[in-house]
Amino acid sequence: MTQAPQPVIPVCYRHPKRETYVRCSRCDRPICPECMNDASVGHQCPECVAEGRRTQRPVRTTFGGTMAGAKGYVTISIIGLNVFMMILAAATAGGGTSLFGGSGFGGLLGGLTPLHIWGALVPAPTTFVEVQAGEVVGIAGSTDGVAHGEYYRMVTSMFLHYGLLHLLVNMWALWVLGRTLEGVLGPVRFLALYLAAGLGGSVSVFLFAGPHTASAGASGAIFGLFAALFIVLKRLGRDTSSVIPILVLNIAISFVPGISLAAHVGGLVTGGIVAAAMAFAPRKNRTPVQVSAVIVVLIVLLGLTLLGTQMLANVPEALVGI
């Protein structure tokens, strides 16, 4: 007389000592409660969940960016870099009140430091001299200027500021504008927009400001973000009435002596062009169109820089008092 075979109780494929009657809805392998992952239908094992993540297309914003922009990591990093440069400027200043807004327009802007003399945007050869009671008492530093090959100043000047108040105003604007734009554009597109607008401001200063000025600040990039916010809101069909008065007010402030109108206008125009390309690129070829637009803008800025170099190549050196 024979006995019927005992039914085999299934065990978890990852934990052989755990009995279970639940199976993965995707691969049908037995899984214990520890290995269960809720799915739209039933449960899935860890391997099937991982495979689904690899094959699933990442969620994109309206403008093609990743959702990582919502974290604001690029905005925070740019602010951190600007603060770090201010600390370096303080370290090179050797004391004094210039970094705290002790000189410049109504005390709003700080004075030059050795780091500014190295990295601010100075178009043509300039020697900065220390003047007291109308007499030259020393030489603070000199530069050959952008026109004589110091093109790095087009970038370094974007991260230098004259005094803490100058820094705080720009970083507050970057914090407000940057988080919003990085969230809708994504981190890579936002960084491209910021740098292009900043370079646009630098090129404008190089072409239209005085050949012996020392310009610095993130204002060109910030104005580019203002233009981008207006365009992005228009593209999304949102109300822009709150942006226009702030933009008009900032443009009006740009005419105040000691503030670089050229940087603001250059950043505004460049940022607006890049933002328009990103916002209105056709969905089918969105990324290639956006990348091509940024490249074209950079090529135009390079051509304008070379033109400015030819214009300022023979400008004689000047002494500038500080």
Note down the domain range covering 213.
Answer: 78-321
Residue 250 identity:
N
Q: Residue 46 and residue 26: Cα distance in Å, rounded?
A: 11
Residues 104 and 192 in one domain: yes
Asked if residue 292 is part of any domain, the answer here is yes
| pLDDT tens column, 161-194 | 988 888 999 999 999 999 999 989 999 999 999 9
Q: Based on the domain organization, do 204 and 109 belong to the same domain?
A: yes
Task: Considering the candidates 219, 241, 242, 254, report the single residue annotated as catalytic.
Answer: 219
pLDDT tier at 220, thresholds 50, 70, 90? very high
Q: Is residue 169 part of a domain?
A: yes
| Whole-number Å distance between alpha carbons of 84 and 80 | 6
Q: Does residue 280 sit within a domain? A: yes
What pLDDT score was predicted for residue 77?
96
Mean pLDDT (the chain) is 86
Q: How high is the pLDDT of residue 219?
A: 93
> What is the average per-residue pLDDT within 301-318?
92
Are 34 and 132 members of one domain?
A: no
- For 126-155, letters b (16+ CB in 10 Å) and e give bebbeeeeeeeeeebbbbebbbbebeebbe
- Listed range (20-29, 196-205, 252-261, 274-283) with the worst mean pLDDT: 252-261
Query: Could you tell me if 185 and 316 lie in one domain?
Result: yes
B/e letters for 42-55, b = 16+ CB within 10 Å, e = fewer, are ebbbebbbeeeeee
Please give the residue that has the higher pLDDT: either 273 or 132: 273
Inside any domain, residue 82: yes
Confidence band of 317 (pLDDT split at 50, 70, 90): confident
Q: Of 10, 26, 56, which one is at a domain's C-terminal end?
A: 56
pLDDT digits (tens, 9 = 90+) for 32-87: 988 888 887 788 988 888 887 776 666 677 777 777 778 899 999 999 999 999 98
Percent of the chain exceeding pLDDT 90 equals 43
pLDDT of residue 40: 74
233-268 in b/e form (b: 16+ CB < 10 A) is bbbeeeeeeebeeebeebeeebeeeebbbbbbbbbb
Answer with the residue of higher pLDDT: 135 or 259. 259
| Together in a domain, 84 and 25 | no
The answer to whether residue 135 is domain-embedded is: yes
What is the predicted pLDDT for the residue at 165?
86
What type of residue is 187? P
Alpha-carbon distance of 78 to 194, in angstroms, equals 10
| Residue 64 lies inside a defined structural domain of this protein | no
194 and 109 share one domain:
yes
Last residue of a domain, one of 56, 86, 102: 56
Using the predicted structure, report yes or no on whether residue 106 has a pLDDT greater than 70: no
Q: Are residues 150 and 293 in the same domain?
A: yes
Instruction: Place 142 in a pLDDT band, splitting at 50, 70 and 90.
Output: confident
pLDDT band at residue 7 using 50, 70 and 90 as cut-offs: low
pLDDT at 249 over 90: no
DSSP for residue 65: -
Comparison of pLDDT for 189 and 111, the residue scoring more: 189
Looking at the fold, whether 30 and 124 belong to one and the same domain comes out as: no
The count of structural domains within the chain is 2
Q: Return the ∠ at Cα 261 (arms to 265 and 124), rounded to 5°.
A: 105
Q: What is the pLDDT of residue 129?
A: 83
Same domain, 282 and 218: yes
Identify the CATH number of the domain in which residue 179 sits: 1.20.1540.10
219 is known as an active-site residue: yes
Q: Is residue 265 part of a domain?
A: yes
Structure tokens at 237: 């069909």
| pLDDT at 133 > cutoff 70 | no
Number of neighbouring beta carbons within 10 Å of residue 108: 16
Domain assignment present for residue 249? The answer is yes
13 and 147 inside one domain: no
Position 36: which residue type?
M
Mean pLDDT of 230-242: 86
Same domain? 5 vs 100: no
Whether residues 93 and 225 share a domain: the answer is: yes
pLDDT digits (tens, 9 = 90+) for 289-304: 999 999 999 999 999 9
Alpha carbon distances (Å) from 305 to 146, 212, 263, 300? 9, 16, 14, 9
